[in-house]
Structure 1
Amino acid sequence: MRGTKNAILLSVMTEKHQHENSGGRTALILGATGVVFGDIGTSPIYALKETFHKSGTTLTDIYGVVSLVFWTLTLVVTVKYLTFVMRADNRGEGGILALLALLPRAYHQGSTSKKKVILILILIGTALLFGDGVLTPAISVLSATEGLDLVHEGLGSYSVPITVVILFTLFAVQRKGTHNIGRVFGPIMVVWFLLIAGLGVYRFVNNPEVIVALSPSYAVGFIASHGFGSLMVLSSVILCVTGAEALYADMGHFGRSPIQFAWRTLVGPSLVLCYLGQAAVVVDNPDAARNPFFSLPPNATLTLILVLLATAATVIASQALITGVFSLARQATQLGLFPRLMVRHTSHEHEGQIYVPLVNWAVGLTSIALVITFKTSSALADAYVLAIAGTMAITSVAFHAVAREVWGWSRLKVFPLTAIFLCVDLSFLLSTLGNILKGGWVPVALGSFVLAIMLLWRQGYSTLQRYMAEHAVTWNSLLNELEHGSLVRSPGIGVFMASPQEEVPVALASQARTLHSIPTEVWIVTINNVQQARVDPEPVAHEIAPRIKRVTLNVGYMDEVNVSRILHDHFLAESERVATYYISERRFLATDANNIRHVPEALFSLLHRNSAPVVQYYGLPGDRVISIGTRIDL
């Protein structure tokens, strides 16, 4: 997923300026190995197992499947993501929302039918990533614990309760942060990749002729001989590239070069060797197709070790996706696609170490419920693949739009690339549609729920901004009242929060109307969300009138805001400690009288009431905040 997602920063990381020195680069490569490749690195546990269930285990089938896996990894990961898509960075940040942020503002507004379609597709892709974040912990950990059945017959029956305990513990500890255990993620995953590569080589040397499966002729021959029946197999082959989106989403924390280096030198070769080893096992013993990955070790002791390490690796992969969902939720909030969400920082050293309570337990409880409901990783795989295929296809479309609109690539340059990418993506998407009734409805349902929230919030918030602009009080009227004495100054410093559309803040206008006074010194703070990851935090202030100033804070979708600290450090110094903050609490009437119908406005009102309080979200001092109520009918 990761990313957003959307988006992971653990204590194994260093700042991006360390790219230039060898120690920093080594840390970034190690961090990328532990975080970025956790999901795709654990896909050998279940990818061939699920594919062989559908393809059969004749020699031709085995070679055809392994060839499909190898060329899927090559085309999707090496060519599409690492070579092309990762060029589309927004000041170093990646992910599907970074593609949206790169596009001109007309796309954000959906000013034409074409732009609106692309906007909706990107929102759908974002929603599917949330579904990916729910499904990844469930299928990853469950597939690892199922290996117990090969250690001792009967132990497999405990896989579901063990998985539930592991997942509950994993989500319960999120509030404490992962900066301590994060230090060992990289080394554990390096050991993991070396182990699966070594086991693959061990099996491969006993049956070296499987190397011919890397030829594309076997993939082409398999599709040609099976016709439309190969679509069913492709719906499982796609499991080998789970987590490919994470390579792009986490680019901002590690950089493109360390991710590419880790893939080309360790991760990619280890995965290929592991898949070849599994093929060799099944060639020698077709019954091993039941679980080829855990058939790699030569004895039960090594199998138990592999199960334990696989469980650790899947927990790491799950952690990466969980933190990525946190980051994706924060990005969506900053881009105006989500209501304000309570975000807590779990590390003083790393800004990206965040915990979002609502998202954490929504994802955690849903993931646990899926494990209990589906019971096996094979059943979950049918649900999992649709989210992967949908996100991959949407990323290709968004990349095409960025290449044309932002980079100015010619049709001759970009269309062949897009055609190749979509040919692969749509083949996988078409193959997964048959899983709708077998579990594919899960990511559709989860994605639809998240998409509905984004569309509802986006419509409601944009309508609210128009309403505020239309009903704004002007400074001329307020200053005239001050000049004629009908409005007086009361002692004190008042800080008023205002949206960019408000000329005079609603709270200030209400105070002037009801109390006929305003504070002696007025500071108006406006948060301006910009369409990039991070911006220069230096605030800008200008004087509206004597002792009335407006401060504008430009905030990127990866930035955090603490208004009281900014005012203290840049403008008020110690005077900030005696300032009073004023905010407007909006209440929506939800009638059919204006722009939004009753039901959508009522739902928007529900989201608005349950969004994170302005006090905590913007770092206001709770003991010095006065809330003024306002009734609005959108």
Structure 2
Amino acid sequence: MSSTKKGHLSQLSLGGLLITLGIIYGDIGTSPLYVMKAIIGEGMINADILLGGVSCVFWTLTLQTTVKYVLITLNADNNGEGGIFSLYTLVRRTKVKWLIIPAVIGGSALLADGIITPPISVSSAVEGLRTFYPSINTVPIVISILFVLFFVQQFGTNFLGKFFGPMMLIWFGMLGILGGLQIFENIGVFKAINPYYAYHLLSLHPEGFFVLGAVFLCTTGAEALYSDMGHCGRKNIRVSWIFVKSMLLLNYFGQAAYLIPFEGKTLKQLGGANGNPFYLIMSDWFQPFGIVIATLAAVIASQALISGSFTLINEAMRLNFWPKVTIKYPTELKGQMYIPSINWLLFLGCIVIVLHFEESSNMEAAYGLAIVLCMIMTTTLLNYYMITKRIKWYFITPIIAIYGTIELSFFIANMKKFTHGGYVTIIISVLLMTVMFIWFRAKTISKAYTKFVKINDFKKVLAELSEDMSIPKYATHLVYMTNAGRTDEIEEKVLYSILQKRPKRADIYWFIHVNILNEPYKTEYKVTEILKEDIIRVDFNLGFREPTKINIMFKEVVKNMVKNGEVDVTSRYESLNKNNIIGDFKFVLSEKFLSNDSNMIWHEKLIMNTYFFIKKLSLSEEKAFGLDSSSVKIEKFPMVVNPPEIIGMKRID
């Protein structure tokens, strides 16, 4: 992202605050649709549970969301970018290898959250129709709304994005007004700010501790505050959160104030088929408007999760956690992307959730368990981040101890949901974790068994090959992608391809290396002339959020080199040279396959076989690098891991 644009987004402004409302707070902002309903459950309304529950909500939003995320975690920015993978790129410099585990678990749990949030938000909003049509089946309506939402992703959401901010401003204003009107009738509900009521519920009430599983739903969107920091900037998030938190608390306290006088009754007795406190606090004349506004807010919340999932997968690919998949850029807006495979995978997951659970109240059981895992993983990485910043241990220890205790308590409380639906998001998370682990581990194994040689040892033979007229010219410019991190090294298989597989004569040999940086946005390159007018290496240093468009980037590099007089790209063919025709460029990519001669232990073999199977389903190398397929040659090389010992063959006459 350009420094100008990043600077603009980071500045505190009314426009920035409005954009922040539309992008950041969809998930946490729609929580009032279902939190109080989940706290009460199917049982009778109990004043102790209501006051204790709303007290827990207040202190959860204060300690977990405000202090941990808004005040502490937002400081762990990677050049303005946030999110669990950005945090991982900051702490992986410590060389603590096992930190890959919390990064993968956290990223997988966040993606699983992207599958459950759209169904529960949209279902909760649409179920408001039961006020007018008690027997209506909301499932087809929910699926229709989700289909339209996922379908429009391919066209970009630039236009819709301008609508999100004002719409969420209306939503939060509505939350505050509705809640405030109820509090005015029962001002005593504010006594729940006293943490005693939370303590009383958790320690003395038989089911009190497990109410935390419902309370946790009020902060499920906190991770999004951190993940989307790059879109809006830290200052805009911190200032807008004051307004958002105030409106949320007014609504939560307002719902509690309305319900307390009805102690001993059930929600169904109060509201029939639509026994949701969120809609019960609305006047009858306003309910149609409330349902429409709630549905639009739920769609915006879903959009935020979808866009966040695209960003997360893009980062995962760059960090070798996910197979290469097609990425499209539907608008000119920087950072906006569309990943077809992830889009429809999320849609399929959402449909399965809707059909399986049908009701939003059933979905509440599946919600929260995965995201609390993500929060625990963020706390783990945050611990190491603070260590890298040389923060004193007597500051780190209490912070990690407090949030470790809070999140572990939420995790234990949410485990009660496991058999009631929590298993769904855990299964999804485990599947995503498995793909990430296999992909990363396979890349590590592959790298460990890649042989590199010193390029200086082959300069002479490459120069002579370039002048050898007895060999037909393969290309004017022959380009190889290399994984060699050092400029004086090259893979043995590259030289095998040039010299032995079929001798490839070219006027200039180019070696291109892509280095993924620990920072999000950077596009730099370095040119190393290994042998004048014969061997040139180009190293691209790209941020982990930058698209890999090698074709365009390489053309720009060559153009600048020609302009500086560093290279002559005119064709060396006599007839073309005298007419100043640019020479042809040929890219050669190597594609590995697992050799039958590999001698691996069973789990490595399982990992590599699964890796190559997934690779067949993922994007081809030339498309992943953004190359013109008409100028690319794919060569297959056997990957031999732990080759067997030499067989002692005996010659006989």
Q: What TM-score comes out, normalization by structure 2 length? A: 0.88
Q: Does 1:76 align with 2:64?
A: yes
1:413 paired residue number: 395
1:589 paired residue number: 595
User: Which amino acid is 2:315 matched to?
Assistant: Q
Counterparts of residues 156-555 of structure 1 (less than 5 Å): 158-226=137-205, 229-264=207-242, 266-286=243-263, 287=265, 289=267, 290-299=275-284, 301-348=285-332, 350-404=333-387, 406-468=388-450, 470=451, 472-482=452-462, 488=468, 490=473, 492-500=476-484, 503-504=490-491, 506-507=493-494, 509-535=496-522, 537-546=523-532, 547-555=534-542
Residues 49-70 of structure 1, C-alpha deviation per residue, up to 9 Å, x if partnerless?
0111177522222211111111
Deviation at 1:565, TM superposition (A): 1.8
Q: Secondary structure at the match of 1:559?
A: coil
Structure 2 vs 1, CA of residues 20 and 338 (structure 1 numbering), >3 Å: closer, same or farther? closer
Q: Secondary structure at the match of 1:347?
A: coil
Structure 2 vs 1, CA of residues 517 and 590 (structure 1 numbering), >3 Å: closer, same or farther? closer
Deviates more, 1:93-102 or 1:483-492: 483-492
Deviates more, 1:302-311 or 1:616-625: 616-625
The structure 2 residue matched to 1:633, chosen from 622, 635, 640, is 640
Tell whether the 8 Å contact from 1:505 to 1:524 is kept in structure 2 after alignment. Answer: no
Structure 1: which 5+ runs fail to align? Answer: 1-8, 111-115
Q: Secondary structure at the match of 2:541?
A: strand
User: Which amino acid is 2:80 matched to?
Assistant: G
Q: Does 1:599 align with 2:606?
A: yes
User: How far apart, CA to CA, are the structure 1 residues paired with 2:104 and 2:507?
Assistant: 46
User: Which amino acid is 1:29 matched to?
Assistant: L
The structure 2 residue matched to 1:127, chosen from 108, 115, 122, is 108
Tell whether the 8 Å contact from 2:45 to 2:266 is kept in structure 1 after alignment. Answer: no
Counterparts of residues 95-106 of structure 1 (less than 5 Å): 95-106=83-94
Deviation at 1:15, TM superposition (A): 2.5
Tell whether the 8 Å contact from 1:456 to 1:604 is kept in structure 2 after alignment. Answer: yes
2:566 paired residue number: none
Tell whether the 8 Å contact from 2:11 to 2:235 is kept in structure 1 after alignment. Answer: no
User: How far apart, CA to CA, are the structure 2 residues paired with 1:577 and 1:327?
Assistant: 38
Deviation at 1:473, TM superposition (A): 4.7
User: Which amino acid is 2:130 matched to?
Assistant: D
Residues 458-501 of structure 1, C-alpha deviation per residue, up to 9 Å, x if partnerless?
11101111222x2x354245334346669837351122111135
Deviates more, 1:289-298 or 1:609-618: 609-618
- Count of aligned residue pairs for this structure pair: 603
Q: Secondary structure at the match of 2:334?
A: coil
Deviation at 1:223, TM superposition (A): 1.6
Deviates more, 1:66-75 or 1:563-572: 563-572
Structure 2: which 5+ runs fail to align? Answer: 268-274, 563-568, 570-581, 642-653
Tell whether the 8 Å contact from 1:235 to 1:428 is kept in structure 2 after alignment. Answer: yes
Q: What TM-score comes out, normalization by structure 1 length? A: 0.91
User: How far apart, CA to CA, are the structure 1 residues paired with 2:455 and 2:49?
Assistant: 76
Deviation at 1:585, TM superposition (A): 2.1
User: Which amino acid is 1:599 matched to?
Assistant: L
The structure 1 residue matched to 2:629, chosen from 613, 622, 629, is 622
User: How far apart, CA to CA, are the structure 1 residues paired with 2:459 and 2:223?
Assistant: 54
Deviation at 1:587, TM superposition (A): 2.2
Deviation at 1:242, TM superposition (A): 1.6
2:8 paired residue number: 18
The structure 1 residue matched to 2:584, chosen from 578, 593, 604, is 578
Tell whether the 8 Å contact from 1:497 to 1:524 is kept in structure 2 after alignment. Answer: yes
Q: Secondary structure at the match of 1:581?
A: strand
Q: Percent identity?
A: 31
Q: Does 1:562 align with 2:539?
A: no
User: How far apart, CA to CA, are the structure 2 residues paired with 1:448 and 1:560?
Assistant: 28
User: Which amino acid is 1:142 matched to?
Assistant: S
Q: Secondary structure at the match of 1:153?
A: coil
1:137 paired residue number: 118
Structure 2 vs 1, CA of residues 193 and 624 (structure 1 numbering), >3 Å: closer, same or farther? same
Deviates more, 1:572-581 or 1:86-95: 572-581
Deviation at 1:99, TM superposition (A): 1.6
Tell whether the 8 Å contact from 2:203 to 2:209 is kept in structure 1 after alignment. Answer: no
Task: Please report the RMSD computed on the Cα atoms of aligned residues, expressed in angstroms.
Answer: 2.2
Tell whether the 8 Å contact from 1:234 to 1:428 is kept in structure 2 after alignment. Answer: yes
**Rg larger in structure:** 2
User: How far apart, CA to CA, are the structure 2 residues paired with 1:383 and 1:614?
Assistant: 38
Q: Secondary structure at the match of 1:503?
A: strand
User: How far apart, CA to CA, are the structure 2 residues paired with 1:483 and 1:368?
Assistant: 60
The structure 1 residue matched to 2:615, chosen from 608, 615, 622, is 608
